[in-house]
């Protein structure tokens, strides 16, 4: 792997077609390594990270956006978070393995299931949040994101997300692309939809070295206006200080139990970092509370 993860926006057809594309290969690989995830879970997290990166394209950089898929499948919940340029992801059962689909692809939809929801939660810098959800279509993430755009944002969209896992079991390419038809685009969408079919191998094209700009040029009519690239990186916002704040908010009886147990350990669900606190730490919290 080389280069950096990024996303880019573009418009075409006098602004009546809008597109967003994201490369998340490095971030998906980092998530896989953090969770020691197998190919199936890595693909699920990579797709979710591409989805959240696409949805966050027009959001304030200080805000937080979370995408969660819970379809009742054996992999459990899959979620990804975007905060500015930072991405992170988690999955309940990173060790899950299933047989490949008949077409040779990873069975992400079967793992996630489709008896559930695609949830989007937005939180601004002041802590206010908005949440919306739509029913899952397939659990394959791309189709579910397309349905979300249609139902929650009332925008007809063509969506493609994909993750390629190499023969070594590690993520080799991950990314996504969305093209949206805005008012005035009538007469152009059929040609775009036909071109979009060529992106069925999206992750393979990225692995072969095609850039996001190349992919956008393959589906949008010229002239195309590209906006500035936005770098993306896998990074967790957890810290010892935040973990301490969570523990200090526990009621006295829970803190007393931690003292009896000799302290506490907090493990981040997103990056698996561990923060340990001694009995003396917990006793100090109790004493400060009593003052």
- Residues 227, 244: one domain? no
Same domain for 174 and 252, yes or no, is no
92 vs 76: CA distance, rounded Å: 5
One domain for residues 249 and 113:
no
CATH label of the domain that carries residue 244: 3.90.1280.10
pLDDT in tens, 196-252: 777 778 999 999 999 999 999 999 988 999 999 999 999 988 888 888 888 888 888
CATH number at residue 145: 3.55.30.10
Domain coverage including residue 259: 240-290
Are 252 and 159 in the same domain?
no
Residues 208 and 268 in one domain: no
Whether the model pTM is above 0.85: yes
Do residue 20 and residue 161 come from a single domain? Answer: yes
Q: Are residues 258 and 228 in the same domain?
A: no
For 88-95, what is the mean pLDDT?
Answer: 96
Statement to judge: residues 161 and 252 lie in one domain: no
Nearest one of 212, 194, 193 to 202, comparing CA atoms: 212
If asked whether residues 273 and 190 sit together in one domain, one would say no
Domain edge (last residue) among 189, 211, 234: 234
Q: Is 176 found in the same domain as 139?
A: yes
pLDDT in tens, 37-84: 999 999 999 999 999 999 999 776 678 999 999 999 999 999 999 998
Predicted local confidence at residue 77, as pLDDT:
97
Q: Of 234, 249, 267, which residue constitutes the final position of a domain?
A: 234
Instruction: Extract the runs of DSSP E, i.e. beta strands, from the chain.
Output: 5-12, 17-23, 64-70, 78-83, 86-91, 117-123, 129-135, 157-165, 171-181, 224-226, 230-234, 263-267, 274-278
Q: Per the structure, how many domains does the chain have?
A: 2
pLDDT band at 274 (very low <50, low <70, confident <90, very high): confident
Helix (H, G, I), strand (E, B) or coil at 203: helix
Domain stops at, among 234, 252, 275: 234
Asked if residue 195 has pLDDT above 90, the reply is no
139 and 103, same structural domain? yes
């Amino acid at each position: 792997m080389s280069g950096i993860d990024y996303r880019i926006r573009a418009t075409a057809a006098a602004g009546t077609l809008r597109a967003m594309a994201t490369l998340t290969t490095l971030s998906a690989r980092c998530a896989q390594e953090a969770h020691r995830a197998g190919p199936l879970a890595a693909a699920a997290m990579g797709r979710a990270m591409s989805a959240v990166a696409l949805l966050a394209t027009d959001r304030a950089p200080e805000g937080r956006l979370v995408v969660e898929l819970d379809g009742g499948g054996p992999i459990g919940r899959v979620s990804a978070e975007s905060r500015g340029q930072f991405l992170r992801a988690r999955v309940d059962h990173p060790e899950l393995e299933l047989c490949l689909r008949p077409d040779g692809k990873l069975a992400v939809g079967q793992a996630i299931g489709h008896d559930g929801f695609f949830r989007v939660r937005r939180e601004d810098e002041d802590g206010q949040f908005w949440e919306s959800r739509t029913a899952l279509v397939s659990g394959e993430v791309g189709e579910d994101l397309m349905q979300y755009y249609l139902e929650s944002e009332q925008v007809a969209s063509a969506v493609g997300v994909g993750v390629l896992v190499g023969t070594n079991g590690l993520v080799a390419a991950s990314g996504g692309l969305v093209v949206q038809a805005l008012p005035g685009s009538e007469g152009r969408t059929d040609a775009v939809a036909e071109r979009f079919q060529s992106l069925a191998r999206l992750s393979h094209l990225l692995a072969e070295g095609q850039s996001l700009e190349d992919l956008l040029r393959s589906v949008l009519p010229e002239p195309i206006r590209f906006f500035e690239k936005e770098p993306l990186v896998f990074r967790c916002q957890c810290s010892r200080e935040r973990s301490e704040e969570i523990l200090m908010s526990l009621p006295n009886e829970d803190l007393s139990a931690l003292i009896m147990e000799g302290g506490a350990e907090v493990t981040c669900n997103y990056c698996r970092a561990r923060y340990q606190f001694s009995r003396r730490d917990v006793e100090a919290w109790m004493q400060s509370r009593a003052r």
